[in-house]
Amino acid sequence: MSDVTAVPKQTSRRTVEIELGDRSYPIIIGHGLFDDGFIWSSAGEGDCAAIVTNTTVRPLYAESLAKAISSRFKRVIVIELQDGEVYKDAASLNHIFDRLLTERADRKCVLFALGGGVIGDMTGFAAACYMRGVPFVQIPTTLLAQVDSSVGGKTAINHPLGKNMIGAFYQPRLVVADLDTLSTLPARQFSAGLAEVIKYGPILDLPFFDWIEANIDALISRDPDALGHAIQRCCELKAAVVAKDEQESSVRAVLNFGHTFGHAIETGAGYGVWLHGEAVGCGMVMGADLSMRLGLISEAYAMRLRRLIERAGLPIVGPRLGADRYVELMGHDKKSEGGEIRFVLIHDDGHASIRTAPGAIVRQVIEANC
């Protein structure tokens, strides 16, 4: 096995720094982190901590987390939300505010987001708004959240007209990615996380793409070395992008590869029917097809990416919503400018660009892949 494809043997703790001046913070990746008193020192201390979680994750991990942070806070309250993308809405957000106000949580109260990307995005947005901003900590418990959503400060809720349309850029104080939590993650959710892992290869790091291809079976079987390496590499790649362009005025948009088609799939099928990672995986198949039709990548490269997404256990054919509906939904994408849809396109040399595409070709892509 070559150096590029070898799994680095390192099961110990890994740390990746997000460099944003006085808002910099570490992402700590490893096993048994809940039991390590030291790492929680940067989470803060004071009168009140609020763990925001959901009905699925609470019975699994809320008690251990409460125990881990109890010596730092006079009281730890747990705010439980319904589980699901369909609850990533204004009503759930308001429930967080209701509880914080009822508990008389002050502006030093630290919110702990314990769960996947849905909980992380909502808790971050609640932290950005409550009393005009309170600190928060991300404790991602899905693969998708560990490699993407907990890092970089994008927070949001959905609107019936579009995914993540109401939100803020608001950075956490600390991210704690405990690999042990992935042991309870259902296989379908794990595959959804692999979509975001795969995403980083074609847009930023072709050797990492090769590595994922060579190690996809180890990743699917949740080999700790392979997982630790993949999560660390994804966080490093994302950290570099976020440090350059925190608020997505330029280069950060490449992290949305697959998302223009993917968000249309998620919204069009109905929130929660397609998992976010599934929609992104299928969206990347469509994004690669569009890149190929525009002459940016070879057919062989597009097929290679498609095969890897399929091997990760992800769907590669989108729902038949009709081209008109796709185009209508994609018009709501946050990258649209002056009513024109902009796509993240990939190139043979391993970089990505953002541009418009002729409507007729976009429709061909939809017809060929849905």
Q: 3-state class of 150 per DSSP?
A: coil
Stretch that binds ligand NAD, among 36-44, 83-91, 217-225, 334-342 (CB under 6 A): 83-91
Q: Which residues are annotated as a binding site for NAD(+)?
A: 83-88, 117-121, 141-142, 154, 163, 181-184
Stretch that binds ligand GLY, among 218-226, 250-258, 330-338, 360-368 (CB under 6 A): 250-258
Q: Which amino acid is at 34?
A: F
Task: Tell me which of 54, 215, 256, 369 is the catalytic residue.
Answer: 256
Task: Tell me which of 248, 266, 334, 342 is the catalytic residue.
Answer: 248
Q: Interface with ligand GLY includes 252 (CB under 6 A)?
A: yes
φ/ψ (deg, to 5) at 98: -55, -45
| Token pair of 268 as six digits | 């069009």
User: Measured between alpha carbons, how far is 285 from 260 in angstroms, rounded to an integer?
Assistant: 12
Task: State the binding partner of 30 from ligand GLY, ligand NAD, none, CB within 5 to 8 A by kind.
Answer: none
Which spans in the chain are helix H?
A: 63-69, 90-102, 117-129, 143-144, 187-204, 206-220, 224-244, 259-269, 276-293, 299-311, 323-330, 359-369
Q: How far is the CB of 295 from ligand NAD (least distance, A)?
A: 29
Q: How far is the CB of 188 from ligand NAD (least distance, A)?
A: 9
196 is catalytic: yes
31 is catalytic: no
Q: What number of residues does the chain have? A: 370
φ/ψ (deg, to 5) at 124: -60, -40
Closer residue to ligand NAD, CB minimum distance, 110 or 179: 179
List C-alpha distances in Å: 73 to 94, 109, 230, 301, 324: 24, 9, 34, 52, 53
Q: What residues between 93 and 132 interact with ligand NAD by CB under 6 A?
A: 115-119, 121
154 is catalytic: yes
- Nearest alpha carbon to residue 11 among 168, 124, 178: 178
Q: Interface with ligand GLY includes 255 (CB under 6 A)?
A: yes
Closer residue to ligand GLY, CB minimum distance, 85 or 148: 148
Q: Interface with ligand GLY includes 193 (CB under 6 A)?
A: no
Rounded to 10 degrees, the C-alpha dihedral 219/223/224/226 comes to: -40
Choose, by CB under 6 A, the member of 92, 141, 215, 256 that binds ligand GLY. 256
Q: Which residues are annotated as a binding site for Zn(2+)?
A: 196, 259, 276
Stretch that binds ligand GLY, among 175-183, 214-222, 251-259, 307-315 (CB under 6 A): 251-259
Strand pairing partners for 53?
A: 80
Strand pairing partners for 176?
A: 28
Chain residues binding ligand NAD by CB under 6 A are 54, 56-57, 60, 83, 85, 88, 115-119, 121, 141-142, 144-145, 148-149, 152, 154, 163-164, 181, 184-185, 189, 192, 276-277
List residues with catalytic annotation: 132, 154, 196, 238, 248, 252, 256, 259, 263, 276
